[in-house]
Amino acid sequence: MYAIVRTGGKQYQVTNGDRLRVEKLEGNVGDTVELTDVLMVVDGEKTQIGRPVVENAKVVATIAEQGKAKKVIIFKKKRRKGYRLKKGHRQFYTALQIQEISA
């Protein structure tokens, strides 16, 4: 059984026991999170496709980690003008451990 969920403007395919990184969600490590934007649920031969979401479907997950991703360096330069700009960015993320998919 797997589901397609939408969170943080992105879509993820999840199954029971999966661990995935999503855009930052509020909560502490160990808290339970319900993802209700379930776009599709597949259970063997039975497939439910939402328009746009599947009614009464949810994915229950626990927050395994709150953290920051690796640093991305942004470097801009204009030749012969002496213009150089160097910035770094670390995106916040939440690691989720999928517990249950219910349709």
Residue 27 gets which letter from DSSP? S
pLDDT at 3: 97
Q: Which residues pair with 88 in a beta bridge?
A: 73
Question: Which residue's entry shows tokens 């943080």?
Answer: 8
Q: Which domain holds residue 56?
A: 2-102
Task: Tell me: pLDDT of 101 over 90.
Answer: yes
Number of structural domains (the chain) is 1
pLDDT at 103: 84
Q: What is the DSSP string of 30-57?
A: T-EEEE--EEEEEETTEEEE-SSS-TT-
Using pLDDT thresholds of 50, 70 and 90, give the confidence band for residue 78.
very high
Average model confidence (pLDDT) across the chain:
97
Range 55-60 average pLDDT: 96
- Residues contacting 61, CB < 8 A, separation 6+: 32, 33, 34, 35, 96, 97, 98, 99
How do residues 6-20 score in pLDDT, each as one tens digit?
A: 999 999 999 999 999
Q: What pTM, to 2 d.p., does this model score?
A: 0.87
pLDDT at 98: 97
How do residues 32-53 score in pLDDT, each as one tens digit?
A: 999 999 999 999 999 999 999 9
pLDDT at 4: 97
Cis peptide before 52, with omega less than 30 degrees from 0? yes
